[in-house]
Homo-oligomer: A and B are copies of this chain.
Amino acid sequence: MIEQGLTDFQKESVELFINAAAAISVPRSVGALYGLLFSTEEPQCLDDLTSTLQISRGSAHEGLRWLRSIGAVKLIYIAGQRKEHFVAETSLRRLAAGYLRDRIEPHLENGQDRIHQLKKACSEETSVCEFQHSRVNQLASWYKFVQRALPLLKALAGKF
């Protein structure tokens, strides 16, 4: 993990994002990729990234695919260059929207189904249901909270 030919600024950035990645349980290679792109003005191609970060082609490719999927890196075409080049997306609004869309919202849809299942299980119980009902209501309330919170976050992100 010895990056050569990087400025201090770039090294710090890579470390910062490796750390941030760990905080949200994202592989270190993904953090490193974003960190390098974030701190580098010139669009980088896959070979630039693998050689400066000392990571494998496979990792770099998967990492970039992931970053692109949430909209954290953009593909740049450079005239006269066959290789694909990448730069970091830095708009908080877009980053937040992409992350929430890809990493949070899918779980919620799943959760909705499961709450429904749970409600069914409750109504099929033969015993007294007072307690279960209060828990189902609790869940429904949490769900509403999240449904409120997400748009709120997106809107707030747009202001930064």
Contacts and interface: CB of A to CB of B under 8 A. Distances in A.
SS class of chain A's interface: helix, strand, loop or mixed?
helix
A110 B7 contact: no
A41 B124 CA distance: 18
Interface in A110-127: 110-111, 114-115, 117-118, 121-122, 124-125, 127
Contacts of A132: 9, 39
Interface of A: 7-9, 11-13, 15-16, 19-20, 23, 25, 38-39, 41, 90, 92, 104, 107, 110-111, 114-115, 117-118, 121-122, 124-125, 127, 131-132, 135, 138-139, 141-142, 144-145, 148-149, 152-153, 156-157, 159-160
Give me the 6 closest cross-chain CB pairs, A-B, nearest first: A25-B25, A8-B121, A23-B107, A145-B160, A12-B118, A16-B114
